[in-house]
Amino acid sequence: MPIYEFRCQSCQHKFERLCQLGETGENLTCPKCQANKPKRVMSSFRSDSADSLRGSRGDSCTSCTSSNCAACR
Ligand SMILES: [Zn+2]
């Protein structure tokens, strides 16, 4: 089963859940504030990928904050 990432629309808390394929979050609740229907976010591909890559792999530029730094190399 895939792991989906959800963001609570009430408190913006982000959490991951192992879900059935196609799960939309309709029947989930926020583990923090118990609000219903967290919004599913596409994890690991776009918005957060730069941050997670930088944190886990450490092969980004050390001279600047860019994760794709052609200028400093
Ligand atoms: Zn919440």
pLDDT 10s digits, 3-44: 889 999 999 999 999 888 878 888 999 999 999 999 999 755
* CA-based torsion, 46, 48, 53, 56: positive or negative: negative
Poorest-pLDDT segment among 12-26, 41-55, 56-70: 41-55
- CA of 5 relative to ligand 1 center, distance in Å: 13
Helix (H, G, I), strand (E, B) or coil at 73: coil
Asked if residue 68 belongs to a domain, the reply is: no
Asked if residue 24 belongs to a domain, the reply is: yes
- CA of 19 relative to ligand 1 center, distance in Å: 18
The DSSP code for 13 is: -
pTM above 0.75, yes or no: no
The boundaries of the domain holding residue 41 are 3-45
Asked if residue 52 belongs to a domain, the reply is: no
Asked if residue 14 belongs to a domain, the reply is: yes
Domain count, the chain: 1
Asked if residue 60 belongs to a domain, the reply is: no
Give per-residue burial for 42-73: e unless 16+ CB within 10 Å, then b.
Answer: ebeeeeeeeeeeeeeeeebeeeeeeeeeeeee
